[in-house]
Structure 1
Amino acid sequence: MKQKGKLVRWNENRGFGFIKSPAIKGDLFIHISELKKMSRRPKVNDIIYFDHVTDDTGKKKAINARIEGVEEVIYRPRKKSKGRSFTSKLISLLIFGGLAFAVYATYPYWSQMFVKSLPVGFIDEDFTGYRCEGKKYCSEMTSCKEARFYLMNCPNVQIDGDNDGIPCESQWCN
């Protein structure tokens, strides 16, 4: 059966206090860890229900405690930190770097696979004088040859709507 007492002192910074109970001689020590299921922290003059034990040094302390009239919680979320720790940021950076290196290291393979899927004539064509200048759409191209150059060599182009390897079919390469 639980004992009943009043919290007579509480040190918020250190997380402990003392209970006065008519059933026990002297003050009884209580630590915040014994009230971890409470929805709020204890305050002086709270009525506390508890079990008590005597530790190895002969001191009495309260265990399995609860505050009268205060709701118990099953889960209390931890306080959110203001940001991720340096270690977690470093791990994320290393993972991202490893993935980026893996993509970079296999780029020749993927680009060759793309070139092999292009129609005959694309690979041997002379594209001297062309360079990637940030064009993305068929409306920005000036010829079918330029569109083929962009499709083979430039990133982020949107000039092969049906993905058949022939760019700008309705504007230049029909």
Structure 2
Amino acid sequence: MYNCLKQAAAEQEADAHQAQFMTALGNIQKTLDSLHDKQQQQINIAIIGGSLTSIETWQTRYATATKFNNTSEINTLINEFNENAPTYITNIFNVLNGQGLGPGTAPLLKSWHAASYAKMYTPVNGQYAFTLRNYLDDYNSIVSWGISMAGYALMCQIIALRG
């Protein structure tokens, strides 16, 4: 009987150690996943950032060329944008939905959704401060922003093709 109790206690202790070990491994995995997500988001932001910087630079150059009625520069810029707009549009939508960026890519919308969902269901001082309304407002903002930038690039390309 004593040996059975001793063996049961040893098994219980081994199970407890295994549970602690598995919890520690799970926490390490969560940290690695979090670091990977942050790294991927930085890559995503760099991809979008490059496209947005190019669009903004083009806007500035185009406005200057138009202001001085520089037809040659206007035509050059329209042709340049016509060549690059599909890439800008593709980059923006790929980052938002995670397509075309390689294996393990975390779509920006999915990452944002997970973070917002966690905020919505994590109480702060016992109160749920992030409401469904906040979530929907944020979602509307991020989707509107992405679509408006891609739409702007698409419209510029259409104008370039008509010219």
Same fold (TM over 0.5): no
TM-score, normalised on structure 2? Answer: 0.26
Q: Which structure is higher in helix share? A: 2
Structure number with the bigger relative contact order (C-alpha 8 A, sep ≥ 6) is 2
Q: Which structure is higher in strand share? A: 1
Which protein has the larger Cα radius of gyration, Structure 1 or Structure 2? Answer: 1
TM-score, normalised on structure 1? Answer: 0.25
